[in-house]
Copies of this chain bind each other. A is one copy, B any other.
Amino acid sequence: MKFFTQLILTTSIVMAFCAVAAADTYYSYANGKLERPQGYRDWPYVGTPLTPNDMNGGKAPFPEFHTVYIDPASWAHWKKTGEIREGAILVKELISVGVKSAPSGQGYFMGEFLGLEATIKSEKLFPNEPGHWAYFTFSRPDHETLERITPPEPVANCNECHRASAANDFVFTQYYPVMRATKGTGEEGTGGKSDELVHLPGMPQR
């Protein structure tokens, strides 16, 4: 009997440990405002569009690299089901172009952090937003500081374009091969499992 008592106690403690490790809320939203999320450079990586200032009349709407991350629980859910879960948050960090030439060739190379955006899918929090997606910006015009809390953007600023043009549930997966490869594929799409670099469905023609 002592053994079973130990076993139950041990199992409970290990399960409690697991529960803490798998906590699935990655933001705080209260009184109509989102607190700036933290620690997202530890999160799974989604993709990096680039809209450099020098290809957008000197002033890109989103300067310039956009590194996109997804919270770990939503990443696990995406791999398992191919769906964006209720409560998911994606973060977009804006980064300047630093230099345009390096030993690896001519191109665009990351410089400094410029800003931060985020989007949350939640029917519970945003029942009236199209698709239940709300969009937030912590960026400031000086590109040197960030807001600490911020309200959702009006639908016309972000949601409308995501609804009209994003390939998969308001997410621009057509520009994110990592998302296309891992959509409902379990661990198969996480890289290196196959000799074939298969063509991924969902990419628009150039």
Interface residues of A, Cβ cutoff 8 Å to B: 2, 5-6, 9-10, 13-14, 17, 21, 36-42, 44-45, 47-52, 55-56, 60-62, 65-67, 69, 75, 91, 93, 95, 97-100, 102-116, 138, 143-148, 161, 164-165, 172, 174-178, 181-182, 187, 189-197, 199-200, 203-204, 206
Give the residues in chain B near A37, CB-CB below 8 Å. Answer: 191-192
Give the residues in chain B near A148, CB-CB below 8 Å. Answer: 195
Q: In the complex the two chains form, is B48's CB within 8 Å of A177's CB? A: no
Known: A175-B110, A190-B40. A196 touches B145 (CB 8 A): yes
How many copies of this chain? 2
Known: A145-B196, A197-B143. A50 touches B49 (CB 8 A): no
Give the Cβ gap from A95 to chain B, nearest Cβ, in Å: 6
Give the residues in chain B near A108, CB-CB below 8 Å. Answer: 49-50, 108
Give the residues in chain B near A17, CB-CB below 8 Å. Answer: 14, 17
